[in-house]
Structure 1
Amino acid sequence: MIRFLAVRLSSAALVVVGVATLVFFFLHLTPGDPVEALLGEHARPADRQALRVALGLDRPLGEQLVGYFANLSQLDLGRSLYSRRPVAELLWERLPATAELAAAALVVAVVVALPLGMVAAARRGGGWDRGAMAFSLLGASIPNFWLGPLLILAFSLGLGWFPVSGREAAGSLVLPAVTLGTALAAILARMVRGALIETLHEEYIRTARAKGLAEWAVVVRHALRNAALPVITVLGLQLGALLGGAVVTETVFAWPGLGQLLVEAIQRRDYPVVQGTVLLISLLYVAVNALTDVAYAWADPRVRLRGGAG
């Protein structure tokens, strides 16, 4: 198990370093000047050069990259070019909102996917099954940037049930959570259905039915428990995807989380904030995936053996 953990942690560290490096180069190669964004188009050349030197943007790109990783080794994410506040402080302010949205979206996904997948598996080939798979296909196909405004038109502007945007008003979490959780619910519903269909053909399921147990008891008490491992694995892997989807969802609903902070920083060419936000999101993504691998290996020793051998 120790060897397996070492391999997974090494892989995670390489991924994070690779993400940080790619984001650094993409930002500096993207058209747009942060100095011009800060001072405006009509600033004097001397003022621009002075600010560029003060921010360290006049140094060669390789030297800036070395300095960036040197600061990272000391857990220093730098300061925002726009507000001059520490990037870590900005991230700490926005992280609770994103965590709240991701948790609510996860609850929506599980509450919708579990009963839907169970009914589809128990009524395989029937109307419930076709309806569940149609929902799954629709939910996975609709992008967040289209579903979010659609929900706003229907439930905020049309019915007036929920706020249009923001985080302060009561019920403001509902529409963003539904928008973000729909795609995950669609994926999970298909996974639950597939795992249950495979499990329902096992011998112990036939034995449970032969004892006269009701179908719901067979599915919930016996089949679902044994089909949970692949479902939990997919759920863990998709948790990281929630963070990526939160960027679009937070922008649509003006939700004050990491996603909105990232979009604002990109618009302002605020390099340290963009780098810090992407690095944090990638760290969370990698951490969730690594924990999922460890949980799977703990539950299934065969995975641990393959991982250690590889």
Structure 2
Amino acid sequence: MLAELTRRLLSTAVVVLGVVVLVFLLIHLIPGDPVDVMLGEAATAADREALRHQLGLDRPLTAQLGDYLGGLARGDLGQSLQQRRPIGELLAERIPATLELALAALAFTLVLALPLGLLAAVRRNSGWDRGAMAFSLLGVSIPNFWLGPLLILLFAVGLGWLPVSGRDAPGALILPALTLGLSLAAVLSRMVRSSVLEVLGEDFIRSAYARGLSTRQVLTRHALPNALLPVITVLGLQLGTLLAGAVITEVVFGWPGLGSLTIEAIQGRDYPLVQACVLLISLSYVLVNMLTDLLYAGIDPRIRLGAD
């Protein structure tokens, strides 16, 4: 098990390093200059060159990359070009809001998807099943940038029940969490239905019914635990998508999280801040998937024995 963990950590480090280098090169090669954004069009050429030299942007790209990787090795993410503050402080201010939104969206997903998928599997080909599959198709088809404004128009502008944007007002978390979690709930409910249906056809399920167990006992004790493995696979993969989708959702609702900070950094051509935000999002995605693989051992003993 230790060897497997070490191998996965090494592969994770290689992936993260590749992401860091790729993002660094792309953000420096795309059109646009942070100096122009900071000084404006009225600045003289001498002022631009002086600021570019001060920020180290006039150095060769390889030298800038070497300095950036060296700083990462020391745990130094650098300083924001726009705000002139350590990037670590900026991330520390925004990460709690993003985690709050992601956890709320995940809770909404599990509360909705697990019962809906189980109900659709137990009552296959019924109205419940067709309704659940229609919800799944609808949830996957509606993008966040369309669903968010629609919920704002309905619940904030039309009914006046919830705030339009921000984080401080009561109930401000509800609409962003619904927007972010709906697509994941749609995917997960379909996966739960498919996985439970497959398990319900096994011999040990028929044996459980033969022993006199009720439908609820069969589902909770036998069907659902054995159907969890593919569900956790999908959930782990979708959690990375959840973090990526938070960028759009946070912008729509003015949520002061990591996604909003990323967009602000892109608009301001704040190279170090963009790199740090993308690095953090990609690292979260990779770590979630690694932890998902390791979690298999705690759910399926056969995987644990195989790893040993």
Q: Is 2:163 aligned against 1:168?
A: no
Deviation at 1:218, TM superposition (A): 2.1
Moved more, 259-268 or 234-243: 234-243
Q: Determine the C-alpha separation between the residues in 2 that align with 1:228 and 1:302.
A: 14
Distance change (3 Å), C-alpha of 1:138 and 1:100: same
2:30 paired residue number: 30
2:75 paired residue number: 75
1:58 paired residue number: 58
Asked whether the 8 Å contact 1:4–1:304 carries over to 2, the reply is no
Moved more, 9-18 or 205-214: 205-214
Q: Determine the C-alpha separation between the residues in 1 that align with 2:118 and 2:300.
A: 24
Q: Which amino acid aligns with 1:249?
A: T
Q: Is 2:209 aligned against 1:185?
A: no
Q: Is 2:261 aligned against 1:296?
A: no
Q: Which amino acid aligns with 1:118?
A: L
Distance change (3 Å), C-alpha of 1:223 and 1:299: closer
Scaled by the length of structure 2, the TM-score of the pair is: 0.96
Q: Which amino acid aligns with 2:141?
A: S
Asked whether the 8 Å contact 1:97–1:256 carries over to 2, the reply is yes
Q: Which amino acid aligns with 2:262?
A: L
Deviation at 1:220, TM superposition (A): 2.5
Structure 1 residue runs of 5 or longer lacking an equivalent are none
2:240 paired residue number: 240
2:121 paired residue number: 121
Distance change (3 Å), C-alpha of 1:251 and 1:11: same
2:135 paired residue number: 135
Q: CA RMSD in A?
A: 1.6
1:101 paired residue number: 101
Deviation at 1:230, TM superposition (A): 2.1
1:218 paired residue number: 218
Scaled by the length of structure 1, the TM-score of the pair is: 0.95
Deviation at 1:307, TM superposition (A): 7.7
1:263 paired residue number: 263
Distance change (3 Å), C-alpha of 1:307 and 1:68: farther
Q: Determine the C-alpha separation between the residues in 2 that align with 1:204 and 1:300.
A: 16
Q: Which amino acid aligns with 1:48?
A: R
SS in 2 for 1:172: coil
Deviation at 1:209, TM superposition (A): 2.0
Distance change (3 Å), C-alpha of 1:300 and 1:52: same
Distance change (3 Å), C-alpha of 1:292 and 1:37: same
Q: Which amino acid aligns with 2:30?
A: T
Q: Determine the C-alpha separation between the residues in 1 that align with 2:213 and 2:302.
A: 33
Deviation at 1:223, TM superposition (A): 1.1
Q: Determine the C-alpha separation between the residues in 2 that align with 1:34 and 1:156.
A: 37
1:278 paired residue number: 278
Q: Determine the C-alpha separation between the residues in 2 that align with 1:86 and 1:44.
A: 28
Q: Which amino acid aligns with 1:66?
A: G
SS in 1 for 2:153: helix
Q: Which amino acid aligns with 2:162?
A: F
Q: Determine the C-alpha separation between the residues in 1 that align with 2:307 and 2:35.
A: 48
SS in 1 for 2:250: helix
Residues 21-49 of structure 1, C-alpha deviation per residue, up to 9 Å, x if partnerless?
Answer: 11101101111110000000110111110
Deviation at 1:53, TM superposition (A): 0.2
Asked whether the 8 Å contact 1:247–1:260 carries over to 2, the reply is yes
Q: Determine the C-alpha separation between the residues in 1 that align with 2:306 and 2:167.
A: 45
Moved more, 29-38 or 214-223: 214-223
Q: Which amino acid aligns with 1:207?
A: S
Asked whether the 8 Å contact 1:117–1:190 carries over to 2, the reply is yes
Moved more, 295-304 or 124-133: 295-304
SS in 1 for 2:10: helix
Q: Which amino acid aligns with 1:133?
A: M
1:249 paired residue number: 249
